[in-house]
Each structure stands twice: as C-alpha cells, then as structure tokens.
Amino acid sequence: MAALGPGTAGYTLTTQGAAANPTWTVPFNPIGTSRVTRNSAIEIQLGVGVIPLQVSSVWVTRAVTAAVTISNAGLVANTTYFVYAFDSAGTTTLELSTTGHVTNTSFGVETKSADATRTLVGMIRTEGSTPGQFVDSIGQRFVISYYARRGIGGQSRFTTDRSTSSTTFVEINTEIRIEFLTWSDEAVLVGIAGYHVNNTASSAVFSAIDFDGGAIEEASTLAQTPATATYTAFGLSLAKSGLSEGYHYVTLFGAVNGVTTGTWGGGTANSKNGPTFSTALIRG
C-alpha cells in the first residue's frame, strides 16, 4: 500500500511495512495545462487544468477545477502586464503586474521577480481606454498564455491603395500593422503579400517586412522592375526569432527609385490591384 505526499524536493513515495522497504522520490513536474484567455473586454481567465504553484513554501501541482477570472479594474492604457497565479487561503487567485519574471531554481518554474509564490501563467496588453481593456482580435493579439501554448493567427490589410515616393524605406501605412505579444523563447512566422506598382515603366518598387519601425528584414526584401507601369504580385515571408518578450508589431515598408511613386493595392479580393495582406502566427 503506497502513500503519496508533497515534499520540498518533489513527491516522496513510501511503502508501509518493514523499515527495510525502499523509498522513492518522484520529481515534481512543473508543466502546466491551464490556459489564459480573454472572456471579454473587462475580464480574462485561467482555464481548467493544472499549474505549478508554491503553497506554504512547498511546490505542488495545483488543479484548477473551475475557471479563475480577473477584471481590468485599475489597469493603465497601452500597458503590458504579466499574469500571475497564487494561492490565497486555498483558492487559486490571479494578479496582473508589470513586474517581470525569473526562473525559480527549485524546479525551473517561471515566477514573479522576488516573489516565488506567484507563478507566471500569461501576459496581456491593454488598449487605449481608461481603465485599459483586454483585446484579442486578428489585428491585436494582446492575450497570450504561458502554459499550453497554441498557434494564434493575426491578419490585417490595406482597405484602399497606399503610396509613397520615398527613395528610402518607410512604413507604407499603419493600417496593415499586426500588433502582438510574444514570449522570448518563441519564433514568429509572418508574411505580406499583394500587388505593388511603380508609376514609371522600368523603375523599381521595393517591399520589405519590418518589425517595430526598426531596420527592415533584409532576408525578406523584394525589388521588382516591370517593363510597364502595371501592378505586379509580390510575396514576402519570414520566421523571426530573437524578438524581446512583450509587445511588437509587424508592418510593410516600401521604397522606389528615382522621382517616381510606388503604390500598394488595397482593392477588393478579385481586383487586379489588391488587396495587400499581412499575416502573423504567434504562440501563446
């Protein structure tokens, strides 16, 4: 007959009977299955599953048997928060904090910096209202889970033609941005496709993927010089790793050569000059 109970170094499995009977230590499993998701503009939840949690200085696998929620009360607009779970007198409770996280040395659990009783379970970013609200739309992926991560798609597009005469790379228009959160250990898959044109025959039009308004992604830059001033299809894609943890956006940068104008299509799906789409796949 075996008994199973928590210990500071894991779960200790002992057998009843003679003292000579052996004792085994079963390692603590820090993997969680509960996901953080958006319920509404004013509420997120930690779903049913399990998470690692420190309770009375002992690491346990806490079963979340009913969704745990938290509101947006007191949140600041346009701000990134980490979602932490903690034990409150036997009840799993959520906390939103701008304080970052560290790896706990006992079992490798990500916990709130300087407070190992708070287990990291997610990340959110508020939008521009007061108090800041929760958003999870195809253009703003602002709620992600630390455990049980899944692929989450994003998409945006030009609703009308967008142009530039710049001979250096600039953002064509903010309308095509996809905003998102990401964990630092994940890669983000992005793509931009559509139609572009230079209004002068045999003059180049350049398109490129860009993150956060910084340097363009050289690995995903395209130049086309059609013999006539007609729309030409283009496609760009990139798997981007190494992004810092937190908020980012992906967008389209473009340029032309000479005293010319480049245009990126924003028409309907069946028109010759559009639309130009951006897509992104994150995990959270």
Single-letter residue type at 76 = V
Task: Mark which of 108, 132, 148 sits at the end of a domain.
Answer: 148
pLDDT in tens, 195-216: 999 999 999 999 999 999 999 9
Write down the pLDDT at residue 268: 61
Report how far residue 30's alpha carbon sits from residue 60's, in angstroms, rounded to the nearest whole number.
9
247: CATH: 2.60.120.1340
Same domain? 163 vs 211: yes
The number of folded domains in the chain is: 2
Same domain? 193 vs 250: yes
Residue 225 domain-assigned (yes or no): yes
Same domain? 275 vs 178: yes
CA distances from 237 to 193, 209, 229, 278 (A): 8, 8, 25, 10
Same domain? 38 vs 63: yes
Checking if the pLDDT of 134 tops 60, the result is yes
* Number of residues that make up the chain: 284
Three-class HEC string of the chain: CEEEEEECCEEEEEECCCCCCCEEEECCCCCCCCCEEEEECCEEEECCEEEEEEECCEEEEEEECCCEEEECCCCCCCCEEEEEEEEECCEEEEEEECCCEEECCCCCCEEECCEEEEEEEEEEEECCCCCCCECECCCEECEEECCCCCEEEEEEECCCCEEECCCCCEECCHHHCEEEEECCCCCEEEEEEEEEEECCCCCCEEEEEEECCCCEEEEEEEEECCCCCCCEEEEEEEEECCCCCEEEEEEEEEEECCCCCEEECCCCCCCCCCCCEEEEEEEC
Residue 234 domain-assigned (yes or no): yes
Could you tell me the pLDDT band of residue 7, with boundaries at 50, 70 and 90? very low
Could you tell me the pLDDT band of residue 29, with boundaries at 50, 70 and 90? confident
Write down the pLDDT at residue 270: 52
Same domain? 137 vs 162: no
> For residue 191, what are the contacts with CB-CB under 8 A and spacing of at least 6?
235, 236, 237, 238, 278, 279, 280
Residue 5 domain-assigned (yes or no): no
Same domain? 143 vs 162: no
Report how far residue 175's alpha carbon sits from residue 250's, in angstroms, rounded to the nearest whole number.
11
Write down the pLDDT at residue 20: 54
For residue 250, the enclosing domain spans 152-283
Residue 229 domain-assigned (yes or no): yes
Write down the pLDDT at residue 111: 98
Same domain? 179 vs 135: no
Residue 160 domain-assigned (yes or no): yes
CA-based R_g, the chain, Å: 25
Task: Mark which of 92, 126, 148 sits at the end of a domain.
Answer: 148
Task: Mark which of 113, 148, 183 sits at the end of a domain.
Answer: 148
Report how far residue 116's alpha carbon sits from residue 113's, in angstroms, rounded to the nearest whole number.
7
Report how far residue 186's alpha carbon sits from residue 199's, in angstroms, rounded to the nearest whole number.
40
* pTM of the shown model: 0.89
> For residue 214, what are the contacts with CB-CB under 8 A and spacing of at least 6?
none
Same domain? 144 vs 173: no
Same domain? 136 vs 62: yes
Could you tell me the pLDDT band of residue 272, with boundaries at 50, 70 and 90? low
Same domain? 166 vs 214: yes
Residue 116 domain-assigned (yes or no): yes
pLDDT in tens, 60-94: 999 999 999 999 999 999 999 999 999 999 999 99
